[in-house]
Amino acid sequence: MRRATLVLLFGLILWACGTQKNNPSAASDIPLIGHHYGAVLDEMGGPEKSMGNLKLYAQKGLIYYTDPKEEQVIGLVCSWFEGGYGFRGQAYGFRLGDTYPKALSVWGNPERRYYKNELADEVYWKNDSMEIWMEIWRESGFDATLTGDYEAETIKRMVFYRRG
């Protein structure tokens, strides 16, 4: 009986770890991809600027993309904007400033990582439902117009986009 309980417990732990990879629990405090845009309006209010299916919430560090009918969220950008405005919440279990190794532990090895500019690399993953881009700081530094202090190998920007 005791051995069967241990085997069952171990199996549940393995299952929980396996379901996390490439499908993180959506620990988020904002509406995500697949939500109706009405949920964004209810929670965030109207955007500061709307350009077709792009909805800018600069003071919250967010950009939402909707389908052509503006009914459903199909893309989400979590970033820093000039003036120190930035996304301070979490989306899909991630916050700006989280580490690249955390992203690897959740999303697995990326499709690619490449040099974007002298400040950041861009990393790209995809799974069955989503494409994920993250900008990762190359070195530690300071940027008065964006984040202030930042650490190397931490997330600077996150982009989530519905596939298909």
The 10s digit of each residue's pLDDT in 142-157 is: 988 877 899 999 999 9
Whether the per-residue pLDDT at 10 is higher than 80: the answer is no
Whether the per-residue pLDDT at 13 is higher than 50: the answer is no
Closest by alpha carbon to 129, among 26, 14, 42, 13? Answer: 26
Whether the per-residue pLDDT at 15 is higher than 90: the answer is no
- C-alpha distances in angstroms, 18 versus 9, 14, 54, 120? 14, 6, 34, 30
Whether the per-residue pLDDT at 85 is higher than 70: the answer is yes
The 10s digit of each residue's pLDDT in 129-138 is: 899 999 999 9
